[in-house]
């Protein structure tokens, strides 16, 4: 990653931290991924060769940019889904020079409408307590060999416990929790 891109991402991250510290309403916070977690996700996109990446939870585009840069490296594309368009999002994507398919929808309905096996990598970083209600779609939409990544599994374990239990109960899944950032669950969907 070149220095201008590193500077842009550092700026967006710092702006998010500053914004969140002053915002009492958690639903209005940006809640950006930590840089180490974002770098790991981007590397997973490259390693898996994920050409069809779906992100649930766009915010100001910080993680979206990381994912889009990695997807571009393997000839792929990112669809990012959120219930609202956050201020500055499109400007941040333009500044990064990435093209992303933005969808303003409820994530559970979006996943339910996707064809089975149509996603190479799915990243969940939205309202954690909703994930279990989306089942079985987060796993159904992944192609065999695809990856499901879930953030905040160490910082908010009770909010993701039901969902992670569903994933663990599927014999096709092999999961690991990586103690990076606020905790990242990484699941490989077997054949």
Residue 171: the pLDDT is: 97
Residue 61: the pLDDT is: 94
* Alpha helices by DSSP H, 23-174: 35-48, 62-73, 89-96, 107-113, 137-140, 157-168
Domains of the chain in sequence order:
33-189 (3.40.50.150)
Per-residue model confidence as pLDDT tens digits over 18-56 = 887 888 988 878 888 999 999 999 999 999 999 999 999
The span from the CA of 189 to the CA of 173, in Å, is 5
Per-residue model confidence as pLDDT tens digits over 118-132 = 999 999 999 999 999
The span from the CA of 100 to the CA of 97, in Å, is 10
* pLDDT average, residue stretch 61-89: 95
C-alpha closest to that of 47 among 188, 190, 191: 188
The span from the CA of 61 to the CA of 147, in Å, is 21
Per-residue model confidence as pLDDT tens digits over 160-188 = 999 999 999 999 999 999 999 999 999 99
Residue 37: the pLDDT is: 97
What band does 5 get if pLDDT is binned at 50, 70 and 90? very high
Could you give the 3-state DSSP secondary structure of residue 114?
A: coil
User: Under 8 Å CB-to-CB from 24, ≥6 apart: which residues?
Assistant: none
Q: Are the CB atoms for 172 and 147 separated by under 8 Å?
A: no
What band does 133 get if pLDDT is binned at 50, 70 and 90? very high
In eight-state DSSP terms, residue 52 is E
User: Under 8 Å CB-to-CB from 190, ≥6 apart: which residues?
Assistant: 144, 145, 172, 173, 174
The span from the CA of 158 to the CA of 171, in Å, is 23
């Amino acid at each position: 990653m070149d220095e201008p891109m590193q500077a842009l991402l550092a700026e967006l991250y710092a702006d998010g931290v500053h914004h969140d510290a002053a915002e009492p309403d958690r639903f209005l916070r940006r809640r950006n991924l930590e840089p180490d977690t974002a770098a790991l996700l981007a590397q997973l996109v490259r390693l898996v060769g994920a050409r069809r990446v779906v992100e649930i939870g766009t915010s100001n585009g910080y993680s979206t940019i990381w994912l889009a840069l990695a997807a571009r490296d393997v000839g792929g594309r990112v669809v990012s889904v959120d219930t609202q368009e956050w201020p500055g999002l499109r400007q941040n994507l333009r500044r990064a020079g990435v093209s992303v398919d933005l969808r303003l929808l409820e994530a559970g309905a979006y996943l339910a409408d996707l064809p089975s096996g149509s996603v190479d990598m799915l990243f969940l970083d939205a309202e954690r307590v909703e994930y279990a209600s989306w089942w079985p779609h987060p796993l159904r939409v992944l192609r065999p060999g695809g990856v499901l990544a879930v953030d905040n599994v160490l910082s908010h374990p009770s909010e993701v416990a039901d969902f992670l239990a569903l994933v663990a109960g599927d014999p096709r899944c092999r999961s690991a929790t990586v103690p990076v950032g606020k905790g990242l669950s990484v699941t490989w969907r077997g054949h």
